[in-house]
Structure 1
Amino acid sequence: MATASRAIALASNTMTASCFLPKTPFVLKQGALSFSGGRRLSKRLLFTCNAIYKPQVQIKEEGQPETLDYRVFFLNDSGKKISPWHDIPLQLGNGVFNFIVEIPKESSAKMEIATDEPYTPIKQDTKKGKLRYYPYNINWNYGLLPQTWEDPSFANSEVEGAFGDNDPVDVVEIGDKRRNIGEVLKVKPLAALAMIDEGELDWKIVAISLDDPKSSLVNDVDDVDKHFPGTLTAIRDWFRDYKIPDGKPANKFGLGNKAANKDYALKIITETNESWAKLVKRTIPAGELSLF
């Protein structure tokens, strides 16, 4: 069994309110989300159940890569397993969010958070007992926003009434650097694509890491078109077509088949964070999802 670990820097935020899960006390943190253009979600808060107070988190690989047993676990500074989905805070303040890399750019192994396993490690997806790969490399770093959840019982009236896909919100990070599985990046959202996959709504938040050389140049969807020309179209087309080689139909996109702006992306993050908060407080049935 291969074992490795490396440190990942994180941050946390302020303003607390109590929250508890069975056998697992933690803290709900909240902060109002402001939009540019003068609008404010005064009654809509970002919630973060934050069990991490130290700035370092480690990852530990168990098993060999590209095997059914391979898992990437996350550990706190005491060496105890934590959930990257539930325990890493979503927001860092000032419009900055944590993003967890599942799939490094220019790779094809379909890695994902195991939402139904204890501590929700990253593993390679399977189908009929076989490891899954994309038919071609993905051209961007791909992963998730922690403490978000696309509620499968919620029909989104703005996107053809599609129901959530029962997963955390996906992120496509467009920076130049190839990242590592399990790496946690500080990103700012720029746009949102409403992908509809076999009738399920599967949001793709387009974002950029703050340490990318072009980060200061891009703050909204129009900036992406200016400084990363063709990228939004390429992302949409990649996710539209990647199942076609397997004989499946192309995915569809709502919202006029276009990328929505940053304000809309922040709205989606807020809504899915609210859904996650209901999930971990057990006001919505969890089904087979792991809540620790």
Structure 2
Amino acid sequence: MERQLFRAHPWHGVTLGSQQPETVTVYIEVVPSDTVKYELDKETGLLKIDRPQLYSNIYPTLYGMLPQTYCGQKVAEFCKEKSGYEHLVGDGDPLDICVLTEKLVPHGDILLKAHPIGGFRMIDNGEADDKIIAVLQDDALYEKWRDVKDCPKGVIERLRHFFLTYKHAPGSQSNSCEIVSVYGREEAYKVIQYAHEDYLEKFGEPGKAFQHI
């Protein structure tokens, strides 16, 4: 049997899924046990080390990105509309996503299915940098949460605290990040849709995406 040597690019070669935005495909880059931050290398599609985790911060959930999404003009315009902030741009990256699960996932560089339930409207140095919150499909504990309003307050506050502090030394007063609001499932669906439309405008149909790499 002939060996398959081709590996699909997680950003361009994997789809969001036939049931998106209710159920989405997620590429996981970082898991809570990681002591270094991994991220997708956009050119090769391989997982690379971005940096060691600063200080004692560790990701509280599975963390990754949504294939065939791009935070561009439409994402930025929606963020401006909802936040009242002017002069925002998209961060030029795939849309970030946190996935809640009771299970221990030992490593990243994997695909999974998840159900978006909300998100953080985050602004970082003048860039729209939304963080979608989702639950792992078929998770026995978390799948009953259909919207962020169903989550215990402590779960959301822990995530919020992490994203506001993970780049800074303890006690530092400098912070370029701001979470201006927490939104629910329906708004998360809109952010995902705008990010997918931004992707198509930036790269064209998926089969043409590699021409821009």
TM-score range normalised by the length of the shorter chain: 0.7 to 0.9
Instruction: Pick one of 189, 192, 195 that aligns with 1:266.
Output: 189
Count of residues paired in the alignment? 198
- Kept in 1, the 8 Å contact 2:30–2:108? The answer is yes
Structure 2 partner of 1:142? 63
- Are residues 290 and 137 of structure 1, via their aligned partners in 2, closer, same or farther at CA, if it must alter by over 3 Å? farther
Instruction: Tell me how large the CA RMSD over aligned residues is.
Output: 2.4
Structure 2 partner of 1:56? none
Give 1:170 deviation, angstroms: 0.6
Structure 2 partner of 1:221? 148
- Kept in 2, the 8 Å contact 1:106–1:140? The answer is no
- Kept in 2, the 8 Å contact 1:190–1:224? The answer is no
SS of 2:183's partner is coil
Give 1:93 deviation, angstroms: 1.2
Aligned-residue identity in percent? 26
Give 1:215 deviation, angstroms: 3.8
| Unaligned stretches of 5+ residues in structure 2 | none
Superposed CA deviations along residues 192-240 of structure 1, whole A, max 9, x for unmatched, are 1011112211110000101311244111111123xxx411111111101
Quote the Cα distance in structure 1 between the aligned partners of 2:211 and 2:156.
33
- Is 1:90 paired with 2:16? yes
TM-score (normalizing by structure 2): 0.83
- Kept in 1, the 8 Å contact 2:28–2:62? The answer is yes
SS of 2:12's partner is coil
| Unaligned stretches of 5+ residues in structure 1 | 1-76, 126-130
Quote the Cα distance in structure 2 between the aligned partners of 1:100 and 1:154.
20
Q: Which amino acid aligns with 1:133?
A: Q
- Is 1:237 paired with 2:150? no
Larger radius of gyration: 1
Superposed CA deviations along residues 235-279 of structure 1, whole A, max 9, x for unmatched, are 111101112218572221123xxx100000000000000000111
Quote the Cα distance in structure 2 between the aligned partners of 1:270 and 1:154.
9
Q: Which amino acid aligns with 1:169?
A: L
SS of 2:130's partner is strand
SS of 2:201's partner is helix
SS of 1:232's partner is helix
Quote the Cα distance in structure 2 between the aligned partners of 1:110 and 1:134.
9
- Kept in 2, the 8 Å contact 1:98–1:185? The answer is yes
- Are residues 87 and 260 of structure 1, via their aligned partners in 2, closer, same or farther at CA, if it must alter by over 3 Å? same
SS of 1:137's partner is coil
Higher helix share goes to which structure?
2
Structure 2 partner of 1:203? 130
Higher strand share goes to which structure?
1
- Are residues 79 and 191 of structure 1, via their aligned partners in 2, closer, same or farther at CA, if it must alter by over 3 Å? same
- Is 1:253 paired with 2:174? no
Moved more, 106-115 or 191-200: 106-115
